[in-house]
Amino acid sequence: MAESKSPSGHVAFDDTDARADQMHQAIDQWLAELVDAVDAARASEQFQQWLDVQSNFHDYSHRNTLLITLQCPDATKVAGYRTWQDEFDRHVKAGESAIWIWAPIITNQCPECGDGPTYHEASDCRYDETPPDEWETGVVGFKPVSVFDVSQTDGEPLPELATSAQGDADGLVTALLEAAADLGITVEILESGAWPYGDADGVCRHVDGDPHVQVRDDDTAAVAGTLLHEYAHALLHGSRDAAGQEAREREAEAVAYVVGRHFELEMDGSARYLAAWSDDTSEQLLTRCERIRDVSTTLIDAIETR
């Protein structure tokens, strides 16, 4: 088996020597189960868990959020053992199992082969124009590192993060409208009486190649959710996007769900259903997860800088 199951049923990576391989295999297996699941509800639940984790860890890679989902789907805030102690005055409770994620290995990097000094010295690369201590630093690989969720710790309460839009639909709409220009999007909110698109709540069209979003005026929470959905279309789906309409809608709604949940906005809708992607391979589904993660991060960052 690639991994073991903890008493709670979550994945645990206990074999130190084989941990890296186990983590790779677990991701592949999780994605394969998503694609192969005959029970749509089961597939939805797994994907929903990943979306929820992604909303809490938008600055983590999609691979790390998948690993967190596998091992601790209820996680909200994770940090290393010493980080909890030194920065937050909290301590990991006895008997808690680590959550394993990938951490970058950053060191001086050979300008020609890209290896760190040790691997460069053992390689066939003959670059010697500058000494290793003058090389620029970069990511040369990844290694498994252990983190723990806040629920696995005791100690001082965590400080509250001051985010003006958090849990505030009015603030979220304002931030989205202010962020539009930086995102390369033009946007209009139209009164219901002037709305020309029937039952649709919003549309995203490309005018001369540039995305133009129009949203029907409604209660603030509904406008915020629709803006997130249409912004996701604007950033994900160009005028020549070849994906089917249903697949595009699922991607946009998944992004809206992740970002909305991040700002504590109640989100519902098609994000929790994977039927449109049931024919995807594991590689295609991983690409979708990466796209959702990247666009969600772009939107969250743009909102939080307002």
| DSSP structure class, residue 97 | P
CB 210 within 8 A of CB 225: no
Q: Name the β-bridge partners of 44.
A: none
CB 165 within 8 A of CB 288: no
Q: 0.75 exceeded by the pTM?
A: no
Sign of the torsion angle spanned by Cα atoms 94, 89, 99, 151: positive
What is the predicted pLDDT for the residue at 272?
Answer: 47
What would the mean pLDDT of 186-194 be, rounded to a whole number?
Answer: 93
Angstrom distance (rounded) from CA 38 to CA 28? 18
Place of tokens 């601790």: 72
Q: How confident is the model at residue 174 (pLDDT cuts 50, 70, 90)?
A: very high
| DSSP structure class, residue 268 | -
What ranges do the domains of the chain cover?
A: 81-155, 169-304
Alpha-carbon distances of 156 from 70, 88, 94, 172, 220, rounded to whole Å: 28, 7, 17, 30, 36
Residue-wise pLDDT tens digits, 197-250: 888 899 999 888 889 999 999 889 889 989 999 999 999 987 565 567 777 888
Residue-wise pLDDT tens digits, 96-137: 999 999 998 888 888 888 888 888 888 888 888 888 888 888
Answer yes or no: is pLDDT of 2 > 80: no
Angstrom distance (rounded) from CA 22 to CA 31? 14
Angstrom distance (rounded) from CA 124 to CA 248? 46
Answer yes or no: is pLDDT of 164 > 80: no
Q: Residues near 191 by Cβ (< 8 Å), separated by ≥ 6?
A: 217
Residue-wise pLDDT tens digits, 61-95: 888 998 999 999 899 889 999 999 998 899 999 99
